[in-house]
C-alpha cells in the first residue's frame, strides 16, 4: 500500500513550515534514515529523514513552497515492487496510508546517534478532550499513530506519557490491553467560564486605507515574524504581567570580569580560552537567585504549579527578522567560563538557523539584554511558559551618595517581569533582591 509522507510537526507549537529543498526525486529508492528534504520552521532549518523503505512515487509539494500545514501530504512512497503510477493515483484519490519522518538540524545530522522523531499531528474528534498538543490537535509518534489506526483506537482518547504529552507506542499498547489512562470527556458544566471574545484588530484594508496608495510597499511576513506575533499576543492576553525594577552597582563585577579575562590561558588556537561578558554574569546570577528563591522557579499550569529542580535560563538572541531564545540548562551548576562558551556557540548557530528544537524550547525563565544598544531600562514580555523574564539595561557611570559623599559608580538598571498567577509581589521582590545581591558581589558566584 502506498504511504503518504506528511509535513511533520517539528515542535509542539508548529502549525506550518516551508519546504526549502527536496534531496530526493521521483523514482529514487529510500531507506529508513535517508534524508528526504530540508524543512524550514520559524526557528531553524531541519533535515527530514525517512522512517520507511520504498520508492518516491510522486512529489506532491514542490521545493520552495511556503506555509505548508502540518500533517499535509507532501510526497508518496511506494513499497518495493509496487506500481508507481498506481501509488501516485492512490495518493491523489486520498486512499494512501500515512507516514512521517524524523528530523535533525542540518549542522548536527551527521553526529546525531538517535535522530529526533517529530510528533505527528492528528485532528481531535469532536467532543474529545485534547490531552496533549495545542488547539485541539493530538501529538503522537508515527509508529503510535499507525498502530492506533490499525487497532481502531481513537488517538484523542489516549493520555500520552511522552514529551509534551505525546502519545507513544507504549501508550497505544497499554490502550489495547485496557491498561492505558483514558482522557475523560469534559463535563458540560465543568471548568471556568469561557473567556470573552478577543478584540479584533482593524482589517488590512482598513489600515491600508489610512495611507496614500503607492506610498508604501507590502513585505509579506515570514514564519519567524508570524510566530513571534502570535506568542506575544498570547503572552499579553493570557499572562497578568507586573514589573519590578532595581538598580545594581556593578563596579566589583566589572573589576572581576577584567581580572578573569586578563588571566585566561590560551587555547589550542592561540586565543584566550574565554572572554566573559557582563551578560554571562547576569545569566549566572539569575540562575543562582532562582536556587536561593526556589518558590519563584516555577511554571504555571491550570492543574498545578511546576516546581523546577534546576534553573534553565533562556537568553534572547537577535537574528535576522526576529529573535530566538536558546536555553542554558542547569545554569546554576555551570562555571562562568562554561556559560560563556555555551552562549557563544548558541548565538553563532542561532544566527545561522542551525539550533535544534531542544536547544531553544522550554526553560524556566529568560534574560533579555539591550544594554549593548545603550538602552537604560525597559520592560520585557514574558515568553510562555516562563513566569519571569529579566530585562537588562546598559551600564553607565552615575553620581551616587556614599557616606555623605558624592562619588561615581557604574550603575545598571534591571527590570523583572512576573506572571502574577504564579508569583506575588513579595516573592518577585525576593527574587530580584537575590539577583541584585549576587550581581553586586560577584565573588558569591564563585563559591
pLDDT tens string 173-204: 788 776 555 444 444 444 555 655 656 778 89
pLDDT surpasses 60 at 223: yes
Q: Which segments within 241-301 are labelled E, that is strand?
A: 241-249, 298-300
pLDDT surpasses 70 at 12: no
- 359-377 pLDDT tens trace: 999 999 999 999 999 999 9
Average pLDDT, the chain: 83
pLDDT band for 22, please (50, 70, 90 cuts). Answer: very high
Q: Tell me the backbone φ, ψ of residue 341, rounded to 5 degrees.
A: -65, -40
- Please compute the mean of the pLDDT values over residues 310-332 and round it to a whole number: 94
pLDDT surpasses 70 at 117: no
CB burial string 271-304: b at 16+ within 10 A, e below: eeebebbbbbbbbbbbbbbbbbbeebbbbbeeee
- Please compute the mean of the pLDDT values over residues 331-341 and round it to a whole number: 96
pLDDT surpasses 60 at 159: yes
Q: Tell me the backbone φ, ψ of residue 111, rounded to 5 degrees.
A: -105, -5
- In this structure, of 101-105, 155-159, 231-235, 307-311, the range with the lowest mean pLDDT score is 101-105
> Angle at the Cα of 105 (from 365 to 380), degrees rounded to 5?
25
Please report the pLDDT score of residue 33 as a whole number.
81
- Please compute the mean of the pLDDT values over residues 135-144 and round it to a whole number: 64
Lookup result for grid cell 551600564:
395
pLDDT surpasses 70 at 295: yes
Please report the pLDDT score of residue 122 as a whole number.
45
pLDDT surpasses 50 at 131: no
pLDDT band for 150, please (50, 70, 90 cuts). Answer: confident
Q: How far apart are CA 392 and CA 369, in angstroms?
A: 5
Active site residue 420: yes
pLDDT band for 93, please (50, 70, 90 cuts). Answer: low
> Angle at the Cα of 302 (from 300 to 305), degrees rounded to 5?
40
pLDDT surpasses 70 at 106: no
Segments of the chain assigned to CATH 3.30.559.10: 225-445
pTM given for the model? 0.63
Please report the pLDDT score of residue 194 as a whole number.
60
Contact indicator for 388, 296 with CB cutoff of 8 Å = yes
- Please compute the mean of the pLDDT values over residues 198-212 and round it to a whole number: 85
- Please compute the mean of the pLDDT values over residues 421-441 and round it to a whole number: 97
pLDDT surpasses 50 at 118: no
- In this structure, of 98-102, 276-280, 303-307, 362-366, the range with the lowest mean pLDDT score is 98-102
pLDDT band for 255, please (50, 70, 90 cuts). Answer: very high
> Angle at the Cα of 277 (from 275 to 283), degrees rounded to 5?
125
Sign of CA dihedral 37, 41, 45, 46: negative
Please report the pLDDT score of residue 85 as a whole number.
77
Please report the pLDDT score of residue 200 as a whole number.
75
Closest CA to 4 of 46, 45, 83, 61: 61
- Please compute the mean of the pLDDT values over residues 124-139 and round it to a whole number: 47
Express as a percent the part of the chain with pLDDT over 70: 81
pLDDT surpasses 70 at 158: yes
pLDDT surpasses 50 at 355: yes
Q: How far apart are CA 63 and CA 37, in angstroms?
A: 9
Cell numbers for 193: 467560564
Segments of the chain assigned to CATH 2.40.50.100: 3-176
Q: Which CATH number is correct for 3-176, 2.40.30.30, 2.40.50.100, 3.10.20.600, 3.20.20.210?
A: 2.40.50.100
Architecture of domain 225-445: 2-Layer Sandwich (3.30)
- 396-414 pLDDT tens trace: 999 999 889 999 999 999 9
- Please compute the mean of the pLDDT values over residues 143-153 and round it to a whole number: 76
- In this structure, of 44-53, 54-63, 259-268, 401-410, the range with the lowest mean pLDDT score is 44-53
pLDDT surpasses 60 at 424: yes
pLDDT band for 137, please (50, 70, 90 cuts). Answer: low
Please report the pLDDT score of residue 107 as a whole number.
35
Amino acid at each position: 500500500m502506498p504511504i503518504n509522507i506528511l509535513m511533520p510537526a517539528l515542535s509542539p507549537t508548529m502549525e506550518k513550515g516551508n519546504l526549502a529543498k527536496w534531496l530526493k526525486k521521483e523514482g529514487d529508492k529510500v531507506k529508513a534514515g535517508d534524508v528526504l528534504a530540508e524543512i524550514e520552521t520559524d526557528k531553524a532549518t531541519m533535515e527530514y529523514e525517512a522512517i520507511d523503505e520504498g520508492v518516491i512515487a510522486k512529489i506532491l509539494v514542490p521545493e520552495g513552497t511556503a506555509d505548508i500545514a502540518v500533517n499535509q501530504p507532501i510526497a508518496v512512497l511506494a513499497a518495493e515492487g509496487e506500481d508507481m503510477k498506481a501509488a501516485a493515483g492512490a495518493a491523489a484519490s486520498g486512499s494512501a496510508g500515512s507516514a512521517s519522518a524524523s528530523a535533525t538540524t542540518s549542522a548536527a545530522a551527521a553526529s546525531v546517534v538517535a535522530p529526533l522523531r517529530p510528533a505527528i499531528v492528528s485532528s481531535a474528534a469532536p467532543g474529545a478532550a485534547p490531552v496533549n498538543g495545542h488547539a485541539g490537535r493530538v501529538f503522537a509518534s508515527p509508529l503510535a499513530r499507525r498502530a492506533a489506526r490499525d487497532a481502531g483506537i481513537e488517538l484523542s482518547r489516549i493520555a500520552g506519557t511522552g514529551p509534551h504529552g505525546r502519545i507513544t507506542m507504549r501508550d497505544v499498547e497499554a490502550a489495547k490491553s485496557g491498561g492505558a489512562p483514558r482522557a475523560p470527556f469534559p463535563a458540560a458544566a465543568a471548568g471556568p467560564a469561557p473567556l470573552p471574545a478577543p478584540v479584533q484588530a482593524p482589517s488590512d484594508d482598513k489600515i491600508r486605507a489610512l495611507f496614500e496608495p503607492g506610498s508604501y510597499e507590502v513585505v509579506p511576513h515570514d514564519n519567524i515574524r508570524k510566530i513571534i506575533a502570535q506568542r506575544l499576543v498570547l503572552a499579553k492576553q493570557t499572562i497578568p504581567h507586573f514589573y519590578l525594577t532595581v538598580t545594581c552597582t556593578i563596579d566589583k563585577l566589572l573589576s572581576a570580569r577584567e581580572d578573569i579575562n586578563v588571566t585566561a590561558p590560551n587555547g589550542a588556537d592561540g586565543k584566550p580560552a574565554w572572554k566573559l561578558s557582563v551578560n554571562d554574569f547576569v545569566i549566572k546570577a539569575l540562575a543562582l537567585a532562582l536556587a536561593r528563591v526556589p518558590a519563584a522557579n516555577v511554571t504555571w499550569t491550570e492543574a498545578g504549579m511546576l516546581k523546577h529542580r534546576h534553573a534553565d535560563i533562556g537568553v534572547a538572541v537577535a537574528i535576522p527578522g526576529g529573535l530566538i531564545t536558546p536555553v542554558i540548562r542547569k545554569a546554576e551548576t555551570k562555571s562562568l567560563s562554561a556559560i560563556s562558551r555555551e552562549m557563544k556557540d548558541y548565538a553563532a548557530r542561532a544566527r545561522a538557523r542551525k539550533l535544534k528544537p531542544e536547544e531553544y524550547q522550554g526553560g524556566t525563565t529568560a534574560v533579555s539584554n539591550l544594554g549593548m544598544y545603550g538602552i537604560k531600562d525597559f520592560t520585557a514580555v514574558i515568553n510562555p511558559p516562563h513566569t519571569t523574564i529579566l530585562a537588562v539595561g546598559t551600564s553607565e557611570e552615575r553620581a551616587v551618595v556614599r557616606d555623605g559623599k558624592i562619588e561615581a559608580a557604574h550603575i545598571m538598571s534591571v527590570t523583572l517581569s512576573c506572571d502574577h498567577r504564579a508569583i506575588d509581589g513579595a516573592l518577585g521582590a525576593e527574587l530580584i533582591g537575590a539577583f541584585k545581591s549576587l550581581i553586586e558581589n560577584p565573588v558569591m558566584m564563585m563559591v
